[in-house]
């Protein structure tokens, strides 16, 4: 394997990892705080990509489409949380699975009604269409580099908010012991609605950024959902730091697994990684709850 291939694949792995982190950060906090399994989290990813595609075709402005799509996914998530999900947190996990699986069916069919069964275009913006020379003789697509930078920026911002602000402290308190945080005056309900909306918005952001690389069609949310669940389990439920490290680990190992091993084995690598980590640490790498 040449050096340039290693560098490019490493960047691809990190980029996939950052995308997964955008997905998993919302998922892991929701799980940690409300122990609510949201299988429909991938739907926000799909919604983000679809809204961006329509807006881009209409306005031609990628930045505007991105912002509106992220806001749109966030608003859908917020409304869903306020309108329905907050009433079912107390039910069993089995019921969470049923309800959110039903939501996937509903969202997928609505997307099929609105955007049709065929893939819709989401082209790379002209400004980021080329590629840049990152090292002498090694070029990398500008758009992928942009995803990398946006992912890192969001991850850094999230880290600062969660670890260095008062509202971040509330979130962490809520994730490690909801009842206690509520008892000392944190408005858990409001905070959780906003958190859910933010998680949905981040999933939407991941969808918009992945759109130009993958194809935007009904059902794109499910594969990324499974990977995000793996990230959440490896990182430890409720832990942002765990989600970040696990996302990078999964992104890099998945990318290299696919080029180093035959496809049947390569596609199983991250699941085997998960199995090994769980066999040693059943609560994941950095569990939020002691």
Partner 1 sequence: MPKDLPAFIPGIDRRFAGIALPVIVMAALALLPWLAVRLDDPFLVRLFTRIVIFAIAAVALNFVLGFGGLASLFHASFMGIGGYVVGVLAHHDANETPLMLGPLAISGTSDLLITIPLAMVCCVLLAFITGLVCLRTSGIYFIMITLAFNQMIFYYFVALERYGGEDGLQILSPLHFGPFAAPKGAAFYYVCWGALCASLLLLRQIISSRFGIVLRAISQNERRAIALGVPALRYKIAAFAISAAVTSIAGALLATNQKFVSPADLSWIRSADLVIIVVLGGISLVWGPVIGAIAFFLAELLLSSWTIHWQLPFGILVILVGIFLKEGIISSGSPAAAWTRRRTRHG
- Binding residues vs partner 1 (CB under 8 A): 31, 35, 37, 87-88, 91-99, 101-106, 108-110, 112-113, 222, 226, 229-230, 232-233, 237, 262-264, 266-268, 271-272, 274-275, 278-279, 282-283
DSSP 86: G
Task: Please identify, using beta-carbon distances, which residue of 177 and 222 lies nearer to partner 1.
Answer: 222
Residue 176 Cβ, how far from partner 1 at the closest point, in Å?
A: 15
Asked if 277 and 236 touch (Cβ cutoff 8 Å), the reply is no
Task: Please identify, using beta-carbon distances, which residue of 10 and 222 lies nearer to partner 1.
Answer: 222
Task: Please identify, using beta-carbon distances, which residue of 113 and 160 lies nearer to partner 1.
Answer: 113
Asked if 282 and 243 touch (Cβ cutoff 8 Å), the reply is no
Residue 285 Cβ, how far from partner 1 at the closest point, in Å?
A: 13
Residue 73 Cβ, how far from partner 1 at the closest point, in Å?
A: 19
The token pair at 180 is 């206690």
Asked if 76 and 44 touch (Cβ cutoff 8 Å), the reply is yes
Residue 283 Cβ, how far from partner 1 at the closest point, in Å?
A: 8
DSSP 216: B
Residue 127 Cβ, how far from partner 1 at the closest point, in Å?
A: 36
Task: Please identify, using beta-carbon distances, which residue of 106 and 129 lies nearer to partner 1.
Answer: 106
Task: Please identify, using beta-carbon distances, which residue of 2 and 92 lies nearer to partner 1.
Answer: 92
Burial class of residue 126, CB neighbours in 10 A (0-12, 13-18, 19+)? exposed
Task: Please identify, using beta-carbon distances, which residue of 54 and 283 lies nearer to partner 1.
Answer: 283
Residues 6+ apart with CB under 8 A from 239: 28, 32, 175, 284, 285, 286, 287, 288
Within 90-236, strands assigned E span: 131-135, 138-141
C-alpha to C-alpha distance for 170 and 168, rounded to whole angstroms? 5
- Number of C-beta neighbours around residue 118 at 10 A: 9
Residue 95 Cβ, how far from partner 1 at the closest point, in Å?
A: 5
């Amino acid at each position: 394997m040449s050096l340039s291939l290693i560098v490019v694949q490493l960047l691809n792995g990190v980029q996939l990892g950052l995308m997964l982190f955008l997905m998993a950060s919302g998922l892991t906090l929701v799980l940690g705080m409300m122990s609510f399994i949201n299988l429909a989290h991938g739907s926000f990813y799909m919604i983000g990509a679809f809204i961006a595609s329509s807006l881009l075709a209409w306005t031609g402005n990628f930045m505007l489409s991105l912002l509106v799509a992220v806001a749109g996914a966030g608003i859908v998530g917020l409304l869903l949380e306020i309108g329905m999900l907050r009433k079912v947190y107390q039910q069993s996990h089995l019921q969470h699975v049923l309800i959110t699986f039903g939501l996937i069916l509903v969202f997928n069919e609505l997307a099929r009604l609105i955007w049709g069964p065929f893939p819709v275009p989401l082209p790379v913006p002209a400004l980021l269409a080329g590629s840049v020379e990152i090292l002498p003789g090694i070029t990398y697509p500008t758009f992928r580099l942009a995803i990398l930078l946006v992912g890192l920026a969001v991850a850094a911002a999230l880290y600062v908010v969660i670890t260095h602000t008062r509202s971040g402290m509330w979130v962490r308190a809520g994730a490690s012991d909801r009842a206690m945080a509520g008892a000392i005056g944190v408005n858990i309900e409001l905070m959780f609605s906003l958190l859910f909306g933010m998680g949905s918005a981040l999933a939407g952001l991941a969808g918009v950024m992945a759109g130009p690389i993958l194809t935007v069609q009904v059902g794109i949310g499910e594969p990324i959902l499974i990977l995000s669940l793996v990230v959440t389990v490896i990182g430890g439920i409720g832990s942002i730091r765990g989600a970040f490290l696990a996302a990078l680990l999964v992104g890099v190992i998945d990318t290299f697994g696919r080029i180093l091993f035959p496809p049947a084995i390569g596609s199983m690598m991250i699941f085997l990684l998960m199995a090994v980590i769980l066999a040693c640490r059943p609560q994941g790498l950095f569990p939020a709850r002691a």
